[in-house]
Amino acid sequence: MGTHLPIEENASDVYTREVFKEFQLEVICSTDTCKSVGYAEVDGVEVTVVKDSIRKKSFNVEYNPGTQATQCSCMMFERMGFLCRHIVWILSANGMKTIPVDYVSTRWKKDALHFRLSECDGVQMETNSSADAKEVAMVKLWSEVHSTIGLLRGASETEVVNLSSLIREFKEKLLPYKKDLTKQQEFEQILGCPLMTR
């Protein structure tokens, strides 16, 4: 470990080696280059201005202690899929020992491939035994959709339009189940993580 922060050790258990190395650099920089230069509280959300001495710039970090929702104006999580040094600094200052589950992108986890390769073009492959049946079914569905769309590369425009119409019809049949969701909740469901508001 490059620091004494428990969040770094947690990351080493969760992330792949390559992503951990990148995240580890953010953790190290959070202790060496970040400091608070301003603070305000707006509607229960703590807004801290964090100065980054390497980038020679300050960033606004929003943190909700109740929900652990956080967002940084550098937008690194949105671009890269792992937390920036500014958020790590805030989480550590708030006593967080692990990365909040909403900020661990599945694609960077050690077991991401294990889940994704449960089926490929109808061939059953090894799956993670801890995966629940719904997760395995969702992975298989994504595989089916992906392979079906791949078949359209040599198809005519009419065939592409027909499949698109079929998918739209099916989506409309599912809408009654989603009628209680707000637009934001629908996006969160699609993305698999909460949307951060500024």
Q: What are phi and psi of 61, to 5 degrees?
A: -115, 120
Residue 178 has pLDDT above 90, yes or no: no
Q: What are phi and psi of 7, to 5 degrees?
A: -65, -30
DSSP-derived 3-state class of residue 80 = helix
Q: Sorting pLDDT into bands at 50, 70 and 90, what band is 118?
A: very low
Length of the chain: 198
For the entire predicted model, the pTM comes to 0.56
pLDDT at 2: 82
What's the mean pLDDT when you consider all of the chain?
80
Residue 93 has pLDDT above 70, yes or no: yes
Hey, how many other C-beta atoms are within 10 angstroms of the C-beta on 20?
A: 19
Residue 77 has pLDDT above 80, yes or no: yes
Q: Sorting pLDDT into bands at 50, 70 and 90, what band is 74?
A: very high
Q: What angle do CA 129, 133, 112 make, to 5 degrees?
A: 55
* Element of type H or E holding 161: helix 157-178
Q: What is the pLDDT of residues 9-68, one digit of tens each?
A: 999 998 888 999 999 999 999 989 999 999 999 888 999 999 999 889 999 999 998 888
Higher pLDDT pick, 160 / 89: 89
pLDDT at 61: 94
Where exactly are the structural domains of the chain? Answer: 6-108, 112-191
